[in-house]
Structure 1
Amino acid sequence: MIKLTRLNGKPFTLNAIYIEQVESFPDTTITLTNGKKFVVKESVDDVNLKVRNFYHSVNVLGLQNDTEGSSL
């Protein structure tokens, strides 16, 4: 889950797995796989970073390079 902020300032969490696209219209609009849209205060780059960090935290993107080769 990622923490985001609606335009009215209200924070909420969103399951990043369901994000299909993130666009700027100029407000950042997130479209989910079911077609639902959210407009948020965060920039597209900020949302992308949050999604990437979430994927790393649940190991969707695999191990980071600095941990490869270490013994477990």
Structure 2
Amino acid sequence: MKIIAFFCQWCAYRGADLAGTLRLEYPHEIRIVKIPCTGGISPHILLKTFQMGADGILIGGCYPGECHYEHGNLIAEKR
């Protein structure tokens, strides 16, 4: 099983980075991709990810109202 995690560089990726610093382990099937903002992920990218063999996709962004790009997380949620 292969899961691709698209993580916002400001929130979700920082959490994953901290987990690495603390030497916490997560399943080896997960591959983390750092992105500027979850609002920039298009449906085309998600479909392409599945076409390239991913079994699942995880999208991690900022909390509502805390997006560094103002509304990117809300745009991603609507998609």
**Larger fraction in helix:** 2
With the length of structure 2 as denominator, give the TM-score of the two structures: 0.23
The structure whose RCO (Cα within 8 Å, separation 6+) is larger is: 2
**Larger fraction in strand:** 1
